[in-house]
Amino acid sequence: MGLTEEQKQHFIENGWLKIEGAFTAEQAAPMLKDVEKRLGVDLNDKSTWKQWRINLKPTRWVQASEFAPKAWEAICELSGGEQRLDPEGCFWSNGFIVNLGDAAYEGKESPLEGLDQFHTDGQFFVHYLDSPEQGIFCVPLWTDIVPGGGPTALCSGTVGTVAKWLYDHPEGTNPDLLPRGHPRFDDPNGTNLDWSNGVARANGRFELGTGKVGDVYLLHPFLVHSPTRNEKKHFRAITNSKTSLKEPNRLYRPDGKYSILEQSIRRGLMENGVTEEDLMNWHIAAPREQFKPGLVGRVVPTKADVTPLNKFGVPQVV
């Protein structure tokens, strides 16, 4: 069916889009089947929940185009067509980001502007305005997520601020957006979030990534976002999966055939004073390269690692 004009505009203006019912709870069940053992907890006994946030290593992968074709169609449309995407596609895994909540915050309100983990993703490469390594960022919900139950805080409207920062730093930044040459450039990602936290607080527009199991959030790679406290101490499981582009984003195209992803970047830049001529003359000023601290422990699947949907014994959502 394709995206509506309203959905396209929502992504351009806000930096994210929710695709409801992209897969079923029945499809999710085989991915979740051994999660208690892997976590080392009893999900029915919160006294065993000793750590509030746990990143599990993946052991199983599915191909998004087969597992959740409605979400994949949207990813392709936002990216300018499947022909612009890395042919390896987008693999989703059971490498769950689990939020069990912290007893210290249970039952207490935690204002979103007080969070201190706002960030953008892409821990494994040096970031540029046009980086192809991370296109649309996918966040499937593997459990129901309610307000207060650990939804991701989405800082709508921050794409332009991040885009202008990257425009101003053609030498590249690390995943925490510290420019190349900064004394802490080589620090592990997630250790220098002052800039992103400041952007979130100055922006002040917060949405919550709530929904049902099977919903998928599609995030712009420049969207600032954060985990939340999970004051209700629900079991919450999401994953984050990248799509990669074959080539860098092109923010000046003489034919004007921009992807929706490119349109959103251009809009944000022009709102911050960047002109068409500026974009025509913008180029990166250092090599594209991996960010070595972000490669530690990284698992990169191939199609050989993927479990076909027919092995799950459940019907596909179409």
Model pTM score: 0.94
Distance from CA of residue 36 to its chain's centroid? 25
Q: What is the tally of structural domains in the chain?
A: 1
DSSP, res 142: S
Residue 105 pLDDT class (50, 70, 90 cuts): very high
Residue 301 pLDDT class (50, 70, 90 cuts): low
Q: Are 48 and 54 in contact (CB under 8 A)?
A: no
**Residue 23 pLDDT more than 90?**
yes
Within-domain flag for 308: no
**Residue 139 pLDDT more than 80?**
yes
Q: Are 72 and 30 in contact (CB under 8 A)?
A: no
Cα–Cα distance for residue pair 106/231, rounded to 1 Å: 4
Within-domain flag for 267: yes
Structure tokens at 121: 């993703």
Within-domain flag for 152: yes
CATH of the domain at 34: 2.60.120
Tell me the pLDDT tens digit for each residue of 249-278. 999 999 999 999 999 999 999 999 999 999
Q: Which residues pair with 61 in a beta bridge?
A: 93, 306
Residue 188 pLDDT class (50, 70, 90 cuts): confident
Residue 190 pLDDT class (50, 70, 90 cuts): confident
Residue 317 pLDDT class (50, 70, 90 cuts): low
> Can you tell me whether residue 235 is helix, strand or coil?
coil
Tell me the pLDDT tens digit for each residue of 116-125. 999 999 999 9
Q: Left if phi > 0, otherwise alpha if psi is -120 to 50, otherwise beta: which for 233?
A: left
Mean pLDDT score of the chain, rounded to an integer? 93
CB-based contacts of 44, cutoff 8 Å, min separation 6: none
**Residue 25 pLDDT more than 80?**
yes
C-alpha distances in angstroms, 203 versus 24, 118, 303?
A: 35, 12, 40
Cα–Cα distance for residue pair 257/120, rounded to 1 Å: 27
Whether the CA torsion 28, 218, 110, 165 is positive or negative: it is: positive
Domain that holds residue 219: 5-300
Residue 308 pLDDT class (50, 70, 90 cuts): confident
Within-domain flag for 305: no
The CB density around residue 157, as the number of other CB atoms within 10 Å, is 18
Q: Are 62 and 7 in contact (CB under 8 A)?
A: no
Length of the chain: 318
Within-domain flag for 85: yes
Share of the chain above pLDDT 70, in %: 93
Within-domain flag for 269: yes
Cα–Cα distance for residue pair 260/262, rounded to 1 Å: 5
Within-domain flag for 115: yes
Q: What separation, in Å, do the N-terminal and C-terminal C-alpha atoms of the chain show?
A: 11
Mean pLDDT of 19-25: 98
Within-domain flag for 292: yes
Residue 292 pLDDT class (50, 70, 90 cuts): confident
Cα–Cα distance for residue pair 76/19, rounded to 1 Å: 13
State the pLDDT at residue 211.
99
State the pLDDT at residue 43.
97
Mean pLDDT of 196-224: 97
CB-based contacts of 187, cutoff 8 Å, min separation 6: 174, 176, 178, 293
State the pLDDT at residue 109.
86
**Residue 22 pLDDT more than 60?**
yes
Mean pLDDT of 8-37: 97
